[in-house]
Amino acid sequence: MTALVTRLAAPGEEPFVVDSWQRSFYDAASRALPLVAELPAGAYRQAQRVVVQRLLKRSCVSVAHYKGVPDEVLGYLVHERPGRCDESTPTVLHWLYVKQSYRHTGVARALLAPVLDLPRSTLHHSHETFSGRSLARALKSSFNPQLAR
Q: Helix (H, G, I), strand (E, B), or coil: what is residue 107?
A: helix
Number of domains in the chain: 1
Specify the pLDDT at position 61.
94
CATH number at residue 32: 3.40.630.30
Q: Give 65's contacts (C-beta < 8 A, 6+ positions apart).
A: 4, 5, 7, 71, 72, 73, 74
- The reported pTM is 0.86
Can you tell me the distance from the alpha carbon of 147 to that of 73, in angstroms, rounded to the nearest whole number? 26
Residue pair 131/28 in contact (Cβ under 8 Å)? The answer is yes
Range of the structural domain that residue 52 is part of: 4-148
Q: What is the pLDDT along the chain (149 residues), one digit of tens a residue?
A: 579 999 999 989 999 999 999 888 888 877 777 777 787 777 877 888 889 999 999 898 999 999 999 999 999 999 987 665 655 556 889 999 999 999 999 999 999 987 776 665 678 889 888 888 888 888 888 888 888 88
- H-only helix segments in 33-132: 34-38, 41-58, 107-116
Specify the pLDDT at position 86.
57
Specify the pLDDT at position 1.
57
Q: Is 100 exposed, middle or buried (0-12, 13-18, 19+ CB in 10 A)?
A: exposed
Specify the pLDDT at position 119.
61
Specify the pLDDT at position 56.
92
Can you tell me the distance from the alpha carbon of 40 to that of 125, in angstroms, rounded to the nearest whole number? 27
CA angle 127, 129, 130 (to 5 degrees): 155
Specify the pLDDT at position 120.
59
Beta strand segments in the chain, E: 4-8, 60-66, 75-80, 92-98, 124-125, 142-143
Can you tell me the distance from the alpha carbon of 146 to that of 31, in angstroms, rounded to the nearest whole number? 22
